[in-house]
């Protein structure tokens, strides 16, 4: 049976206080920064890894992390931290982390877990309820139905056109509904209850019977205790949040410019319709707008229009550009191309933005941006962004001339080594929500090709169920490189690539071969691809070695070898207070080739 090298979803707290961890020691010192045991452990364990956990994978990750730090230091030295791209991303990320810090203080720290709720939860967890219900969107109508029931009208006679019997367990329903139901005996019904959701429906519930739900073995008992604790904590957290919400937002009023909203909605509607048709997205399926789509929308507006005030705060109003960048970062999707439906969705996102911005400004007033844990994670992401920009500058600069290609062709006596070729099926997306959905579908046993046909954003493979066709492993960057190490049938991902995130399956491969002499024009492209890959690898390796010397890299092997880590094999998300989600840590791709060259260069020194 082939291994599945993709990763389950792990949800972790948003801020992990480094001060509360075990003693932190430096593994590597790089210039004025370092990689500590706590940082390495967190980055390693929250990053998916190919294959089994061993010393080789642990060391390769260390070398990859060191390279990231080296590139980031050089990038900062030459001013990458002042680029519009990095400043915009850091502004959004810092807002997420300071919102979360305020959430911890105003919600998490104010939660109270009454013992009576735990006791009550255990009692309710012992019993499942078999119930049915009557529903109406009209309050007067539901009150009349309740009056009839009190007069003795049969409950079943008032249920029209459906089988409403369901079985529910503790924690599945809203707490208010649950409180009403667990007080009832079989045959009794509730007063009319308004839905806590936005659908405005009213319900009357009836208990049909109570079913024993508690298992007799210790594992089931432990599971129940864990579930009760989780339900009670979530409800108390929701209660604390609602208390904060009511107090904080009372009297707050911020408007958006209607003209700008209409203009923006028109462009978003146009882009959504275009994307649905171009990507052949089925009706009622989610249509995601990517960062590229939002860049296109920004270009349509032009620089002057982007400076126009959109969200009218009395102090520091928000312009259209800042709103669009936030929308792109958080992602935007809809299941409908109907103009009114899209405008309604966009209107909700505007309101959501305003609420979060008010929270951010409160957190900023309290100095949350200066908290060590906020600085730690913002710096982590800043270094990652700068390192990727710096590395990409080398990728963009690696060029091969026609003369170099021909000279290489001649030097090999016109025999050409054709690198290993692979064929993969891939889902490419820039949406974390899609990644989570794809992982869930694969976990259920669905075929990656069928999933790719629905979800991949790589247009030229979509109609082929995500299949690439054979290509040399020197192409497509880390995808080709990792595919070369896999066995047929293995699946890997998510992998961070410039276009977003990739999950792919190796479906076939051809080993490296020596090709008999052929006319230059017939093999020119193959030779060029091979030379480009070699040149880029040599260039990046050489520069990384150079930076290791420039910044005086020192590695403490003793500290590193003593560090124990676990391969969680999970993709980790942080759900942030007051909304928002982000990867637990930046996804660092494997890159360890440079380290051996650096070690050799040290030995070669006189």
Class in CATH terms, 115-243: alpha beta
Contact (CB, 8 A) for 586 and 380: yes
C-alpha 314: how far from chain center: 33
The pLDDT tens digits for 367-392 are 999 999 999 999 999 999 999 999 88
Total length of the chain: 606
Judge whether residue 490 has pLDDT over 70. yes
Mean pLDDT across the stretch 177-194? 94
Task: Give, for 209, the enclosing helix (H) or strand (E).
Answer: strand 202-212
Which runs of E-coded beta strand occur in 300-408?
309-312, 318-319, 332-334
Average the pLDDT over each of 21-30, 149-158, 225-234, 271-280 and give the range with the smallest value. 21-30
Task: Assign 3-class secondary structure to 226-249.
Answer: HHHHHHHHHHHHHHHHHHHHHHHH
What's the rounded Cα separation, in Å, for the pair 559 and 34?
13
Read off the pLDDT band of 52 (50, 70, 90). Answer: low
Q: Which of 374, 411, 365 is nearest to 520 (CA)?
A: 411
The answer to whether 115-243 and 420-511 have equal CATH topology is yes
Judge whether residue 539 has pLDDT over 70. yes
Read off the pLDDT band of 363 (50, 70, 90). Answer: very high
The pLDDT tens digits for 127-162 are 999 999 998 989 999 999 999 999 999 998 887 655
Mean pLDDT across the stretch 108-129? 93
The pLDDT tens digits for 426-435 are 999 888 778 8
Which tokens go with 498?
């410039």
Query: Which alpha helices (DSSP H) does 415-556 contain, by range?
Result: 432-443, 448-455, 459-462, 478-483, 520-550
Judge whether residue 361 has pLDDT over 90. yes
Read off the pLDDT band of 519 (50, 70, 90). Answer: confident
Residue 519, phi then psi, degrees to nearest 5: -55, 145
- Residues β-bridged to residue 29: 34, 554
What's the rounded Cα separation, in Å, for the pair 123 and 452?
46
Judge whether residue 118 has pLDDT over 70. yes
Which tokens go with 553?
């890299």
Read off the pLDDT band of 537 (50, 70, 90). Answer: confident
For the chain, percent helix, then strand, then coil, each to nearest 5?
55, 15, 30
SS3 358: helix
Average the pLDDT over each of 71-85, 145-159, 388-402, 495-509 and give the range with the smallest value. 388-402
SS3 29: strand
> Is domain 420-511 classified as CATH 3.40.50.300?
no
Read off the pLDDT band of 3 (50, 70, 90). Answer: very low
pLDDT score at 17: 43
pLDDT score at 362: 97
Q: Which of 493, 473, 486 is nearest to 427 (CA)?
A: 493
Read off the pLDDT band of 4 (50, 70, 90). Answer: very low
What's the rounded Cα separation, in Å, for the pair 141 and 507?
60
For the chain, the domains span: 4-79+373-394+547-604, 115-243, 255-369, 420-511
The CA–CA distances, whole Å, from 484 to 195, 394, 469, 481, 572 equal 54, 23, 15, 5, 26
CB atoms within 10 A of CB 200: 10
Residue 118 or 397, more confident: 118
Judge whether residue 364 has pLDDT over 50. yes
pLDDT score at 495: 85
Judge whether residue 189 has pLDDT over 90. yes
What's the rounded Cα separation, in Å, for the pair 190 and 536?
70
């Amino acid at each position: 049976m082939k291994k599945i090298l993709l990763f389950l979803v792990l949800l972790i707290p948003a801020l992990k206080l480094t001060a509360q961890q075990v003693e932190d020691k430096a593994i590597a010192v790089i210039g004025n920064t370092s990689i500590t045991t706590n940082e390495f452990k967190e980055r390693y364990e929250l990053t998916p890894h190919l294959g089994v956990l061993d010393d080789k994978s642990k060391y390769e990750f260390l070398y990859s992390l060191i390279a990231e730090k080296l590139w980031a230091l050089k990038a900062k030295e030459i001013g990458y931290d002042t680029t519009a791209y990095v400043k915009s991303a850091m502004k959004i990320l810092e807002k997420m982390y300071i919102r979360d810090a305020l959430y911890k203080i105003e919600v998490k720290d104010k939660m109270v877990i009454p013992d009576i709720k735990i006791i009550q939860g255990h009692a309710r967890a012992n019993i499942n309820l078999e119930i049915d219900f009557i529903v109406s969107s009209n309050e007067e109508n539901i009150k009349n139905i309740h009056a009839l029931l009190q007069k003795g009208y049969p409950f079943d006679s008032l249920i029209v056109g459906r089988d409403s019997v369901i079985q529910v367990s503790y924690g599945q329903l809203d707490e208010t509904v649950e409180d009403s139901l667990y007080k009832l005996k079989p045959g009794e019904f509730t007063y009319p209850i308004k839905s806590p959701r936005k659908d405005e429906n009213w319900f009357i519930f009836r208990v049909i019977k109570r079913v024993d739900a508690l298992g007799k073995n210790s594992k089931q008992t432990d599971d129940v205790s864990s579930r009760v604790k989780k339900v009670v904590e979530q409800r108390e957290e929701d209660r604390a949040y609602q208390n904060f919400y009511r107090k904080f937002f009372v009297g707050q009023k911020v408007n958006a410019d209607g003209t700008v909203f209409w203009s923006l909605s028109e462009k978003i509607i146009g882009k959504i319709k275009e994307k649905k048709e171009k990507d052949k997205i089925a009706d009622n399926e989610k249509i995601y707008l990517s960062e590229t789509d939002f860049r296109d929308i920004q270009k349509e507006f032009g620089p002057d229009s982007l400076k126009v005030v959109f969200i009218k705060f009395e102090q520091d109003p928000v312009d259209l550009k800042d709103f669009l960048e936030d929308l792109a970062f958080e992602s935007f999707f809809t299941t409908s191309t109907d103009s009114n439906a899209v405008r309604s969705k966009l209107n909700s996102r505007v309101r959501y933005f305003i609420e979060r911005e008010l929270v951010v400004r409160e957190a900023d007033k309290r100095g949350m941006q200066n908290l060590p844990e906020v600085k730690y994670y913002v710096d982590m992401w800043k270094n990652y962004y700068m390192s990727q920009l710096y590395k990409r500058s080398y990728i963009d600069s690696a060029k091969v001339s026609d003369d170099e290609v021909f000279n290489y062709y001649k030097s090999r006596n016109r025999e050409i080594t054709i690198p290993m070729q692979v064929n993969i099926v891939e889902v490419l997306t820039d949406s974390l929500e899609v990644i989570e959905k794809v992982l869930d579908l694969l976990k259920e046993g669905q075929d990656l090709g069928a999933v790719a046909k629905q979800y991949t954003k790589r247009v030229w493979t979509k109609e082929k169920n995500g299949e690439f066709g054979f290509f040399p492993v020197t192409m497509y960057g880390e995808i080709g490189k990792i595919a070369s190490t896999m066995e047929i049938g293995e699946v890997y991902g998510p992998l961070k690539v410039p276009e977003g995130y990739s999950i792919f399956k190796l479906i076939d491969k051809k080993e490296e071969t020596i090709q008999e002499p052929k006319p230059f024009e017939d093999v020119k492209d193959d030779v060029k691809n091979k030379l480009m890959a070699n040149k880029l690898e040599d260039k990046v390796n050489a520069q990384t070695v150079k930076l290791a010397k420039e910044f005086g890299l020192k590695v403490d092997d003793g500290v590193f070898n003593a560090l124990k880590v676990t391969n969680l094999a999970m993709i980790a998300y942080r759900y942030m207070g007051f909304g928002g989600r982000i990867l637990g840590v930046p996804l660092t791709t494997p890159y360890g080739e440079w380290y051996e060259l650096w070690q050799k260069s040290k030995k070669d020194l006189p």
